Amino acid sequence: MAARRSVPPTAQQRSATSKRAKTRALVLRTALECIEAEGLVEATAAKIAQRCGLSWGVIQYHFGDRAGLFLALFDQGFESLARALSELEAPSSKLRDRLATLVEGTWSLMERPGYRALLEVQLQLSRDPSHAPNIQRRGREMRGQLRELWRKTLPEYTPSRVDRAERLATVSLRGMALERAIGGARRAHARERRVLVEALEALLRDETP
């Protein structure tokens, strides 16, 4: 039997696909802005729909329920962060410069608009048994990608020591990001990141910070 030839989409089908993609992008962008401005609890289905200028029925068509919208939002945020992480490269062979690249690169992701909102979404979905496995899997993937980036950038040190340094950096930077989200920007964070780099260098060299 001859193989069935694929039929190229018609202009009408291409237009419909483009329209669906634009609608999804609009809803996701607006939902993130709504959560960022008002918090997850106040980002109701009605408010998101009103901000989009769409009916909730249209949003349901694309995402299902509110949890489905938040799951799509989390997936989009995860993929964006993962792409940015994969592009980080240390330009210098000096240990402190490489650590600074890792710390500042991670910080640049955490201070992006919407990062706090994505953390809220992650926390909310992790409490839902139907979504928790997917959220946990995504979290493991992100941690694994970050761990591999640190190991690749610091190959002269044992993986266990690099992993300890990465964990210290991630927890410290996340705390700074949350503090900034709650209390506003702080210039002192630049100094704190420099101190963090020094502590990481001491940890890797097995010195007392």
- The DSSP 8-state label assigned to residue 5 in this structure reads P
pLDDT at 1 over 50: no
pLDDT mean over 10-18: 59
Hey, which of 34-43, 82-91, 149-158 has the most confident mean pLDDT?
149-158
Question: What pLDDT was estimated at residue 208?
Answer: 45
pLDDT digits (tens, 9 = 90+) for 140-163: 888 888 899 899 999 999 999 999
- Side chain identity, residue 82: A
- pLDDT-based confidence at 74, cuts 50/70/90? confident
Q: Rounded to whole angstroms, how far apart are CA atoms 99 and 90? A: 8
List of domains in the chain: 14-64 (1.10.10), 70-204 (1.10.357)
Question: What pLDDT was estimated at residue 184?
Answer: 59
- Side chain identity, residue 120: E
Sign of the alpha-carbon torsion through 118, 69, 59, 15: positive
